[in-house]
Amino acid sequence: MMEFSKMQGAGNDFILVNGLKQSFKNLSELAQKLCDRHFGIGADGMMVVVPSETADIQMIYYNSDGSRGEMCGNGIRCFSRFVFEKGIVTKPSFKVETLAGIKGIELTLVDGEVEAVAVDMGSWNYETAAIPVKIDKNEFIKETISVEGKTLEMSAVLMGVPHGVIFVDEIKETETIRLGAAIEKMELFPKRINVNFVKVVNESHILVDTWERGAGKTLACGTGACASVIIAHRLGLCGSAVNVKVPGGELQISIDNEHRVMMKGKAVFVCDGLFYL
Ligand SMILES: N[C@H](CCC[C@H](N)C(=O)O)C(=O)O
């Protein structure tokens, strides 16, 4: 049997496993098994707590399809509350090692409970070689793509993981699913890509709906919310402090003048349990 916690951040749900107490052979297979919504517990992804030599603790993230994600914005908020409330980390400010670099965490405590988690998500990268995008241009900004019989204008950015951002007049979940699924796997994106459909309400409010690489349609995507603000800000469509409303809740995203993105939002425990491996 295996101990786990189920958590969610703005409706993006995760299974957390304490890798300091138990070790596993194949994390990709474990993620697929645990995240299956019929034969397992059910979640968008799985995080494992492991030691770090360069930070206070290390987060390993897998999507529900068993693919490794370099970073997970909603996930790192849940991970941070988990390691604090389980006593693994004992201070409200700490650093988490990820495949996308070390992230700074600030917990907001109310009566000893974690009320919100702020994450220094670090900076972004527009270079097509880094995202990656297979195109003979340095950046992929407002480029035209044809998919599922539609011509769309998309911009791409690496926010720890690859993100595409498409601005729409109206968000339709059926289109997020139909178009997102096709764009994720286009040859243009050798490592696949997360796809965000964005409606700008005003300069401090946007709506985002995301099709996630390796997880499909989710109720929120933290790195996607960050990517959407970054691109909207670059195109002059929003300011540098934005409330991002997603189907599962909302996130506060801000860009500082050192080219860094800060994300703040909740992280909620759903349950603790035992899984029969
Ligand atoms: N599916 C993403 C990783 C999780 C991102 C998302 N859950 C977030 O909150 O940032 C990828 O493989 O690129």
* Statement to judge: residues 234 and 269 lie in one domain: no
Is the reported ipTM for this assembly greater than 0.85?
A: yes
* Statement to judge: residues 251 and 269 lie in one domain: no
Q: Nearest residue CA, atom 12 of ligand 1?
A: 69
* Statement to judge: residues 102 and 206 lie in one domain: no
Atom of ligand 1 nearest to the CA of 222: 9
* Domain contains 130: no
12 is in an annotated binding site: yes
Question: pLDDT digit of tens for each residue in the chain (277 aa)?
Answer: 999 999 999 999 999 999 999 888 899 999 999 999 999 999 999 999 999 999 999 999 999 999 999 999 999 999 999 999 999 999 999 999 999 999 999 999 999 899 999 999 999 999 999 999 999 999 999 999 999 999 999 999 999 999 999 999 999 999 999 999 999 999 999 999 999 999 999 999 999 999 999 999 999 999 999 999 999 999 999 999 999 999 999 999 999 988 899 999 999 999 999 999 8
* Domain contains 128: no
* Domain contains 138: no
Strand (E) or helix (H) holding 77: helix 73-85
208: Cβ below 6 Å to ligand 1?
Answer: no
221: Cβ below 6 Å to ligand 1?
Answer: yes
User: Which pLDDT value is given to residue 23?
Assistant: 87
Q: Nearest residue CA, atom 13 of ligand 1?
A: 161
* Domain contains 213: yes
Determine the structural domain holding residue 234 and report its residue range: 143-258
* Domain contains 75: yes
180: Cβ below 6 Å to ligand 1?
Answer: no
* Statement to judge: residues 116 and 150 lie in one domain: no
Q: Measured in angstroms, how far is the CA atom of residue 14 from the centroid of ligand 1?
A: 11
Overall number of domains in the chain: 2
Q: Which of 14, 18, 24, 20 is nearest to 3 (CA)?
A: 18
149 is in an annotated binding site: no
Q: State the catalytic residues.
A: 72, 221
63: Cβ below 6 Å to ligand 1?
Answer: yes
* Statement to judge: residues 99 and 183 lie in one domain: no
User: Which pLDDT value is given to residue 43?
Assistant: 98
125 is in an annotated binding site: no
* Statement to judge: residues 82 and 23 lie in one domain: yes
Atom of ligand 1 nearest to the CA of 12: 7
Q: How far apart are CA 229 and CA 209, in angstroms?
A: 13
Q: Nearest residue CA, atom 4 of ligand 1?
A: 72
Atom of ligand 1 nearest to the CA of 223: 10
Q: Which residues contact 264 (CB under 8 A, 6 or more apart)?
A: 116, 117, 118, 119, 251, 252
| CA distance to 45, 64, 214, per residue, from 68 (Å) | 10, 9, 9
Q: CATH code at 39?
A: 3.10.310.10
* Statement to judge: residues 86 and 170 lie in one domain: no
* Statement to judge: residues 199 and 98 lie in one domain: no
* Statement to judge: residues 177 and 254 lie in one domain: yes
249 is in an annotated binding site: no
* Statement to judge: residues 204 and 165 lie in one domain: yes
Atom of ligand 1 nearest to the CA of 213: 1
161: Cβ below 6 Å to ligand 1?
Answer: yes
* Domain contains 235: yes
* Domain contains 19: yes
Cα dihedral angle (14, 125, 55, 3), rounded to 10 degrees? 10
* Statement to judge: residues 177 and 115 lie in one domain: no
The SS3 call for residue 56 is coil
Q: Which residues contact 47 (CB under 8 A, 6 or more apart)?
A: 14, 15, 16, 17, 59, 60, 61, 62, 72, 75, 78, 79, 82
User: Which pLDDT value is given to residue 121?
Assistant: 98
* Domain contains 57: yes
Pairing of β 143-147 and β 113-122:
unpaired
72: Cβ below 6 Å to ligand 1?
Answer: yes
Using CB atoms within 10 Å of the CB of residue 244, give its burial: 0 to 12 exposed, 13 to 18 middle, 19+ buried. Answer: buried
Q: Nearest residue CA, atom 5 of ligand 1?
A: 72
* Statement to judge: residues 114 and 151 lie in one domain: no
12: Cβ below 6 Å to ligand 1?
Answer: yes
